[in-house]
Amino acid sequence: MYKLYWSKETGALAPQAALEEAGADYEVIVTDTGSGAHRSPEFLALNPRGQVPALILPDNSVMTESAAMMLHIADAFPQANLIPPVNDPARAQVYRWMFFAAVNLYETDLRYYYSERYTTNENGVEGVKAAALRDFDKYFDMLEQEIGSGLYLLGDTDSILDIYLTMLAYWHPDVDALFARCPSVKILCDTVKARPAVERVWRQHYG
């Protein structure tokens, strides 16, 4: 059984949705970031960075980093078709854009909402936030061009990547403005959210 250390409206959403789509046997361990549970000694022993989620694998080893969890789950449940086969060139594109999203979009979200962590100058916080919003829009504009007229980033083929991008899109500080500027991103997100497994998880996170 997998054990997912979880808090609402966090990066736990995407790996949880992947576990649901895979039909995996898993348990949610609520780790409320609002109450500071992610800074407890017990959780820090799992993830010294104090970030939710953390995932305990069936062999009791620990995974952190939500994008890595997504790739692992896809590989662990090949029958779920969450990622193209190894010899398919589309798999390389999943790697490309998954790392793009983790390194750029996820990090930009942190810079926007936790700007004070990115400067030692208290007068620099607003500048960090403004630059993060600029980058948020720039990166989603790039994804808009990549998606084009397809339903998913890989055209008509869905993958774990689309779940991850949908989670990150809803972290944008002005989702309505994002979707107005990037209609292909909106179509992708609407399509992903309509999938039963994702819809179940989405309700748990956002009601």
- In the chain, domain spans: 2-81, 89-195
Please answer whether residues 26 and 2 qualify as being in contact, where contact means their C-beta atoms are separated by less than 8 angstroms. Answer: yes
> What angle is formed at CA 66 by the lines to CA 155 and CA 116, rounded to 5 degrees?
110
How much is the CA Rg of the chain, to the nearest whole Å?
17
Q: Peptide bond preceding 53: is omega within 30 degrees of 0, i.e. cis?
A: yes
As a whole number of angstroms, the distance between CA 160 and CA 48 comes to: 26
Identify the H or E element spanning 126.
helix 125-147
pLDDT of residue 34: 84
- CA 108 – CA 138 distance, rounded (Å): 11
Residues 28 and 16: their CA atoms lie apart, in Å, by: 9
Would the pTM count as exceeding 0.85? Answer: yes
- Beta-carbon contacts of residue 40 (< 8 Å; ≥ 6 apart): none
Give dist(CA 198, CA 185) in Å, integer.
Answer: 17
Residue 157: beta bridge partners?
A: 154
User: Is pLDDT above 90 for 160?
Assistant: yes
The average pLDDT across 180-194 equals 98
Q: Specify the pLDDT at position 37.
A: 86
2.40.30.10, 1.10.530.10, 1.20.1050.10, 3.40.50.10860: CATH of 89-195: 1.20.1050.10
Residues 166-184 pLDDT 10s: 999 999 999 999 999 999 9
Distance of CA 137 to the CA centre of its chain: 17
The architecture of the domain spanning 2-81 is: 3-Layer(aba) Sandwich (3.40)
Dist. CA 181–CA 169, nearest whole Å = 12
Nearest partner of 165 among 105, 95, 90, 77, judged by Cα: 105
Share the mean pLDDT of the chain. Answer: 95
